[in-house]
Amino acid sequence: MTINADAYQSEEKARKTEGRMLREVTVKIGLEIIDTQEGITVEALLDSGAIGLVMSSEFARKQGFKLKKLERPMQVRNVDGSFNKEGPIENMVEVNIYYQGHRERTEIDVIGGQEKLR
């Protein structure tokens, strides 16, 4: 797989939410699907407030990631402490992440739409 990770750059955006200006910092990274060794370039949100790495079930399905079932589902809480309406995280994917010449193999939790993935 060839990904030009050195060409990725960060971008800061401002958006208005409920009358407040929020700052988002995103970076373009390469993701390699371990099973197929296919690579894609994505825009990743930095410091989203999540404790770990997450991707949506819709994105995982569209990109062809192979899901791995977690031994124990993880409950997801929102910033206000309430449980997330998407339910617990039950699956994850293994990927290689490429950024600025660095490669790291990691696991990303898959959130949302669990019934569609079974």
The pLDDT tens digits for 63-89 are: 999 999 999 998 888 878 888 888 889
**What's the pTM?**
0.71
For the domain covering 5-117, report its CATH number. 2.40.70
Displacement of CA 75 from its chain's centroid (Å): 17
**Three-class DSSP category at 86:** coil
The closest of 98, 92, 90, 91 to 37, measured between CA atoms, is: 98
Tell me if 3 sits within 8 A of 30, measured CB to CB.
Answer: yes
